[in-house]
Amino acid sequence: MHGALPATDRDSMLAPRAQSLLRFFTCGSVDDGKSTLIGRMLYDTNSIFEDQLEALERDSKKFGTQGANLDFALLLDGLSAEREQGITIDVAYRYFGSNKRAFIVADTPGHEQYTRNMATGASTAELAIILIDARKGILPQTRRHSFIVSMLGVRDIVLAVNKMDLVGFDEDVFNTIVEAYRELTAGLGFAHVVAIPLSARDGDNIAIHSQRTPWYRGPSLLAHLETVEPVSASAETVFAMPVQWVNRPDLDFRGYAGTIASGEIKRGDEIVALPGARRSKVARIIGPDGERAQAIAGEAVTLTLTDEIDVSRGDVLASTPHHLKPRRNMDARLLWMIDAPLAPGRDYIIQLATGTANARIAALHHQIDVESFLPRPTQMLTMNQIGLVSLACDKPLVMADYRKDRELGAFILIDRLTNHTAALGVIEPAVPTAAEFNIAPAVEPSFLARIATRMDASDIALSVALSSGVYVLTGNQWAAGAVLTTDVILRPLIAELRSRTRARVEGGLDDGNESGAGI
């Protein structure tokens, strides 16, 4: 097969591997070859065991789409539905490495329906491989994925122009796609975009340089991944650790367990517990291997303090000075993930790091047009749409702007009734006004329209059940009908009046609430 490592080179991959680790993921439109690319990388780095290779040979004959050749996508697409349809649905993580670096790769789906799964894979990545089918060029899902990658702070991009074998390895086709993509993403803030012509199926430019692209002078994909130093989305290096658990096995021990989000901590360092702003010093640092003198970002540890202060799950231990702000109100960019649309005034549960609170959509400012990446006015967000909102929480949460802190600047919204993840959000520093974008503001929905949005299927079912109970008890259909009509009208009316009253009360609160005061 073209591009495969020689046997001696592939055997060298078994040498002791360096500790350097790169997290990356693949994305792009449907059938651009994402799973095939990762499967081929696993094969070319000798990361497939003999029994896995035998299973791949059997599965390729049964489910494969490459004729007599191995279908490397089957190494990633393990669900029966994925194999039957030949698509990726869920996120698949694989661990592999070369003699220079270790890798964790996430294979994400290309279908618009599963955009939320793609965002899940992007949320922890340092680099994105965006695939484009050389025959089709840039597609709407390519645009959407590129914006989400930018939104989630991934700054290093590999533009993998795949299936070059189907266009005869035409240099002009490659250059046209690369030029169009660079123009498209000029305003997305990517630090580096490295374009590589590939044939994932045949292995061209995957592990070694392909002889079928003599005009390409850049590195192979693996060579680039081994040497790239990703630009971090977080500029902060001060210590911060969200408290996940208060460990108190007996009367003589009280420890605060969590994973360090940023920076490092040493025994004796002064810390502040947020949002309460109570200060103390670190007495002990306990890790999985016992007590230690210091710990760094990414490590799970338990800290004990010199003073008995009130610290609970959801609080954040931080160094002094720090960049964090306990706030009740925030502006955020959301990727909406469920069928039920987002509308202003709805209540959700927000989870930010280990903290949770009740949150209301106070305002929906605009949504993003995935064709132009420009904002446009809207009254709601539907599944896979991206928009800018203002949120109001019922208690202060410790947070930071996402551009400064990736761990404490991201959150999810949870539907209160279904417990489904409704949205992924990143905290923005400020809300751009309509005037800044030269667009007309969205029309404020009428009082009756807002009342109508208060009534969902569960409310209607409850009203019907109530009226049915009246009919069973009285046998009077007119009484049952009157109860149904009254309940349908009064229930959303009361909810809207309560919302407006609450909004007025919150509107009268000054910015002092953002320093930690509750409602």
Mind listing the domains of the chain with CATH numbers?
7-227 (3.40.50.300), 240-319 (2.40.30.10), 325-437 (2.40.30.10), 447-507 (no CATH)
In this structure, are residues 80 and 242 in contact, taking their beta carbons and an 8 Å threshold?
A: no
Give the pLDDT of residue 305. Answer: 96
Res 322 pLDDT > 80 = yes
* Choice among 206-220, 450-464, 502-516 with the minimum mean pLDDT: 502-516
Q: What is the 3-state secondary structure (H, E, C) of 21-90?
A: EEEEEEEECCCCCHHHHHHHHHHHCCCCCHHHHHHHHHHHHHHCCCCCCCCHHHHCCCCHHHHHHCCCCC
Give the pLDDT of residue 36. Answer: 85
| pLDDT range class, residue 509, cuts 50, 70, 90 | very low
189 or 506: which carries more pLDDT confidence? Answer: 189
Res 24 pLDDT > 90 = yes
CA–CA dist 500, 114 (Å, integer): 36
Beta-bridge mates of residue 302: 257, 286
Q: DSSP 3-state assignment of 183? A: helix
* Choice among 116-125, 130-139, 190-199, 277-286 with the minimum mean pLDDT: 116-125
Give the pLDDT of residue 342. Answer: 92
Averaged confidence pLDDT in the chain: 80
Query: Which two three-digit tokens encode residue 260?
Result: 């360090």
CA–CA dist 73, 33 (Å, integer): 8
How many other CB atoms are found less than 10 A from the CB of residue 123? Answer: 18
CA–CA dist 187, 184 (Å, integer): 8
pTM, full prediction: 0.73
Residue 257 φ/ψ, nearest 5 degrees: -100, 145
Query: Which two three-digit tokens encode residue 284?
Result: 């002990």
317 or 90: which carries more pLDDT confidence? Answer: 317
In this structure, are residues 407 and 361 in contact, taking their beta carbons and an 8 Å threshold?
A: no
Beta-bridge mates of residue 426: 333, 410
Residue type, 224: H
Rounded mean pLDDT, 288-295: 93
What is the Cα gyration radius of the chain?
Answer: 27
* Choice among 119-123, 227-231, 374-378, 460-464 with the minimum mean pLDDT: 460-464
Query: Which two three-digit tokens encode residue 123?
Result: 């949320």
Res 410 pLDDT > 80 = yes
In this structure, are residues 295 and 309 in contact, taking their beta carbons and an 8 Å threshold?
A: no
Asked, as a colleague might, if the bond just before 321 is cis with ω within 30 of 0, I would say: yes
Res 441 pLDDT > 60 = no
Res 233 pLDDT > 70 = no
Give the pLDDT of residue 45. Answer: 85
Res 81 pLDDT > 50 = no
Give the pLDDT of residue 323. Answer: 82
Res 435 pLDDT > 50 = no
Res 120 pLDDT > 80 = yes
Give the pLDDT of residue 61. Answer: 62
pLDDT tens, residue by residue, 131-186: 999 999 999 999 999 999 999 999 999 999 999 999 999 999 999 999 999 999 99
What percent of the chain has a predicted confidence (pLDDT) above 90?
Answer: 51
481 or 302: which carries more pLDDT confidence? Answer: 302
Rounded mean pLDDT, 312-327: 91
Res 355 pLDDT > 50 = yes
Give the pLDDT of residue 94. Answer: 85
CA–CA dist 228, 504 (Å, integer): 52
In sign, the C-alpha dihedral spanning 140, 382, 187, 440 is positive
Give the pLDDT of residue 455. Answer: 52
CA–CA dist 118, 140 (Å, integer): 15
436 or 119: which carries more pLDDT confidence? Answer: 119
Give the pLDDT of residue 403. Answer: 86
Rounded mean pLDDT, 2-14: 42
Rounded mean pLDDT, 276-292: 94
Report how far apart, in Å, the C-alpha atoms of 439 and of each of 43, 324, 375 are.
Answer: 51, 33, 8
